[in-house]
Amino acid sequence: MESEPAPRPGQDPNWPPSGDDPAYQPTISGPAPGYPPPQAPPSQAMPPGEGFIVAQPYPYPGAQPPPAPWPPAPATAPATRTPRRRGRIIGITALVVVMFAAGATAAVLLLKKTESPTTMALQSGQALGPSAGVTLTGTINGASANVTVTRAGTVEGSYTEDNSQVSRVTINGVTYLKAPVAFWSAEGDGTGAPQADGRWAKAPADRVFVSFASFTPGQISRVLEHVGQHPRVADTTFGGSKVIKLTDNGTTYYITTSVPNRLIHMDGTSGAARYSFDVTPLTAATISPVFTILHGDVQAMRGAAEPDATVLPEQKIQFHSNCNGNTSCTVSIKVTVTAHSPSVLLTMTVGFSGTKGGHPFATCTDTVTANTTATATVTPSCGLGSPAWSRWVNSHTSDFNTWADPTFTVTVNTASDVAAMQSELNREQAT
């Protein structure tokens, strides 16, 4: 433990201390070798032969030496530093070095500290953004789901809804579902529901209970790259990995804390549906099989059912005058058509029979386009010609009855519509 500094001359009657004081080591000091002797101020003369006494060392850092008497005299011995002072100076210097070294180490440790949640989210978003698509595997409302969303927002996948297994394709913002008739009937869909049984059908807006528009790589990336400086986060683990749970606008993102930071899971809601998905980014190579499936599905969507459509007859079916002969018979009926699609194809199929509700001996069909931006009124017509009508008439030798029973289906997608969707898929895959 270092001693307190000695008082200066003039401040204590016992100054200077005796030579026995170990803290006081007087030496006769003069100018250092090679330097000119100190000069007295012009108003004073330096008495010859007089020196001055310097007390060394000063046993506390930062203390200043007491002023030496003036004028100094030429030194009789070279200036020296006692070993004790050198050791003290070295000790202080070493302490400073250690302190600086400790500060440098602390700085390095701070640089290696875990990244901020904002940085983790940013880097995970930057990694996901360029992906060709993402596969989302998990649950929707607690039921299994497996869906792929491409960079452009095209959706291909399947999930369980209303206890029915549903296949789904969304392309150009239009969703098509393939599900059993029980699925369509569960919500009281229109007269087209039976035609949608087990085939591709254009889904009404109220049957698309999960929108995947916000699940494209670009959309997810934009959210993660702009979470702000103080996002809501919690530390946890998921799938054996340390992650942060970052919540933004009702969606929770699970981001790995280890570098490189990656998004591995998402929880949230879409409308009234609750989802929980593992997230797998796709490359151009790994998404290729998905496009193969999409091309096949789209080809099967020509004449896809419009299950939400309703057809209401405005009159009984009409027999035209040619039915009085034995060559041909034409029938027609006026109907109104409503649907969510702006344009649909209405197909009328008429079964001809000899009794009401009997097995038809022949059928005819007609398809007309109905503009259903507003309620459309159309009059489809079809008929029988020779030999079907001729055979029927000639089989009777007296008066007879003929019944015509019409049924209707409403569909979407002509051959040109399907070709346009195929072109869209080709363009999307190429980019």
Per-residue exposure over 301-333, b if at least 16 CB sit within 10 Å of its own CB, e if not? bbbbbbbbbbbeeeeebeeeeebeeeeebbbbb
The DSSP letter of residue 172 is T
Tokens 């194809």 map to which residue? 345
pLDDT tens string 126-185: 999 999 999 999 999 999 999 999 999 999 999 999 889 999 999 999 999 999 988 888
pLDDT tens string 70-104: 455 544 444 444 444 444 433 333 333 333 333 43
CB-count burial class (<10 Å; 0-12, 13-18, 19+) for 113: exposed
Residues 341 and 372 sit within 8 Å (Cβ to Cβ): yes
Distance (Å, whole) CA 175 – CA 94? 75
CB-count burial class (<10 Å; 0-12, 13-18, 19+) for 17: middle
CATH number, span 121-299: 2.50.20
pLDDT at 186: 73
- Average pLDDT of the segment spanning 281-289: 97
pLDDT tens string 329-372: 999 999 999 988 888 999 999 999 999 999 999 999 999 999 88
Distance (Å, whole) CA 120 – CA 109? 19
DSSP character string of 181-193: HHHHHTTT--TTG
Distance (Å, whole) CA 344 – CA 374? 12
**Quick one: tokens of 54?**
């310097």
**Quick one: tokens of 169?**
């394709």
Q: What architecture does CATH give domain 305-393+401-412?
A: Sandwich (2.60)
Distance (Å, whole) CA 387 – CA 22? 139
- The single-letter code of the amino acid at 70 is W
Residues 309 and 192 sit within 8 Å (Cβ to Cβ): yes
Domain limits of the chain?
121-299, 305-393+401-412
CB-count burial class (<10 Å; 0-12, 13-18, 19+) for 243: buried
| Max CA separation in the chain (angstroms) | 167
| Residues in Cβ contact with 341 at an 8 Å cutoff, skipping those fewer than 6 apart | 202, 306, 309, 372, 412
Per-residue exposure over 127-138, b if at least 16 CB sit within 10 Å of its own CB, e if not? bbbebbbbbbbb
- Average pLDDT of the segment spanning 186-204: 78
pLDDT tens string 213-239: 999 999 999 999 999 999 999 999 999
